[in-house]
Amino acid sequence: MTEAWGPDDEDEPRLRGASGPVRVRVPAKINLHLGVGPLRPDGYHELNTVYHAISLHDELTARRGDTLTLTMEGEGTGELALDDSNLVIRAAHALAAYAGVPPYARLHLRKQIPLAGGLAGGSADAAAALVACDALWGTGLSRDELAAIAAGLGSDVPFLIHGGTALGTGRGEAVSPVLARPTSWHWVVAVADGGLSTPEVYRELDRLRAAGAAAAPLGSADALLAALRQRDPAVLAAALGNDMQAAALSLRPALAATLKAGEAAGALAGLVSGSGPTCVFLAADGSDAERIAAEIEAAGVCRAARAAHGPMPGARVV
């Protein structure tokens, strides 16, 4: 934790932090493995997941201000509240309280990551706000300190501070990087019309499990981690898995057609991303990903399909 701003700072308050705008880019995440354990007494599910940050991103710009304000641009942002219920505003307040500085900034968000899509867009924006305000205010926290604040904002916010490929345990907030030789993986991201509520998808999974209608839980991520080390997309394809997929398909049966279209286009594997409804497909290489994206889009089974790659760094000043 840095020293609180005190009377000594009042003479030269602008010496700390940035005087100009701070621009932060933050990736979307997909889950290469999403093992969902039982519901815990605190209302969360125990997770065993492998997060992977991809090249679809949002951008947050922070400028000095006399209050804390947020504006947004991008598809669907009109639906989002701009008050204290917004995760970006909550992130700025949480950092300011931790560091003992006034929570003043003018924040502007450019959204590309679809809302409620299973790509952790809202969590990404919270991570971006922590990194942007840390630079703007000169609070100088470490990534680990920012990730600790992030854990209080949402289960997958800490991952979006770190980025890359990482194992997530606990409710997803305990993140450790997966060390692998650098390899780029190529993906197709098929965005659905409309979103799915994450708590609703978890509830549907619990219902399916209670009714004996869900597959056995995936459990540990060991096989996926071993597949990542082999650096062969066909091997990785066989190891991808998501316990939430059955629940997302149950709530949104049309996703089966999206998955099928990816398979027909020659994707090595397809799965629902997180709690959905976005579907992701693994491609052999970048040009394959472009071709598969075009074919899925032409099949009319989603709102848009885009090629992407990963791993990408977490929220960072650009």
Catalytic residue IDs = 29, 156
Binding of ligand C5P at residue 47 (CB under 6 A)? yes
Q: Please say which residue, 45 or 143, places its beta carbon nearer to ligand C5P.
A: 45
Q: Please say which residue, 154 or 311, places its beta carbon nearer to ligand C5P.
A: 154
Q: According to CB under 6 A, which residues from 165 to 184 bind ligand C5P?
A: 171-172
User: Cα angle vertex 129, ends 98, 73, to 5°?
Assistant: 150
Q: Which stretch binds ligand C5P (CB under 6 A): 132-140, 179-187, 195-203, 234-242?
A: 195-203
Cross-strand bridge partners of residue 27: 57
Q: Which of 16, 18, 44, 108 binds ligand C5P (CB under 6 A)?
A: 44
Q: Which of 98, 137, 159, 202 binds ligand C5P (CB under 6 A)?
A: 202
CB of 199 to ligand C5P, least distance (A): 4
Binding of ligand C5P at residue 115 (CB under 6 A)? no
CB of 175 to ligand C5P, least distance (A): 13
Q: Which stretch binds ligand C5P (CB under 6 A): 19-27, 44-52, 61-69, 278-286?
A: 44-52
Q: Phi/psi of residue 74, each to 5°?
A: 125, 160
Binding of ligand C5P at residue 41 (CB under 6 A)? no
CB of 84 to ligand C5P, least distance (A): 16
State yes or no: 37 annotated in a binding site: no
Binding of ligand C5P at residue 155 (CB under 6 A)? yes
Q: Please say which residue, 41 or 43, places its beta carbon nearer to ligand C5P.
A: 43
List C-alpha distances in Å: 59 to 64, 98, 129, 213: 17, 24, 10, 41
Q: Which stretch binds ligand C5P (CB under 6 A): 88-96, 185-193, 194-202, 258-266?
A: 194-202
CB of 190 to ligand C5P, least distance (A): 23
Which residues bind to ligand C5P, rule: CB under 6 A?
Answer: 43-45, 47, 154-155, 171-172, 198-199, 202
Binding site as annotated, residues for ATP: 114-124
